Amino acid sequence: MEGKTCKEFDESCIFCHFAHNRDVETTILKQDEEFVCFRDIDPVAPHHYLVIPRDHIVSCKSLNRSHIDLVERMAKFGKEVLLDQGITDMENVRLGFHQPPFISVGHLHLHVLAPASQISTYMQHKFTPGTDRFITEQSLRERLKKVSPLTFTSFRQYLGF
């Protein structure tokens, strides 16, 4: 577990149930010891998958510099799923996260969309990079470089102790 911003399992989180194989109805496309990938229930592109960490992390706003590698590994995992599904044009994909308050489930999840050129025009606004709603994994990694890991000392300083 990277940083101190997550816990292993949240009973009230549906994605935690997916991540820990406690949901028999969801088809898992790929999983390993760190991540699980499944189809989005409301796809906006021919290939619309979600990659989630097994550990419960609320959102991309819960991350700091120590999570850059986690985001990178999530993106790599998502691209592996696309390859498994026969997608080879990695220039026509979109990988990113919705940002609070525009998240539907409070568990970090990477949207993996392909082909990006076929994202539904009706839903395009929800997946436009650079908006308050959606941040690409690459932009998130850049932003996280500026966010210091939370330490006990920095937290005390934040509180004014």
The residues assigned a catalytic role are: 109
CB burial of residue 129 (10 Å; 0-12, 13-18, 19+)? middle
Is residue 110 within 8 A of residue 96, CB to CB? The reply is yes
DSSP label at 56? B
* Rounded (10°) CA dihedral 77, 79, 80, 84: 140
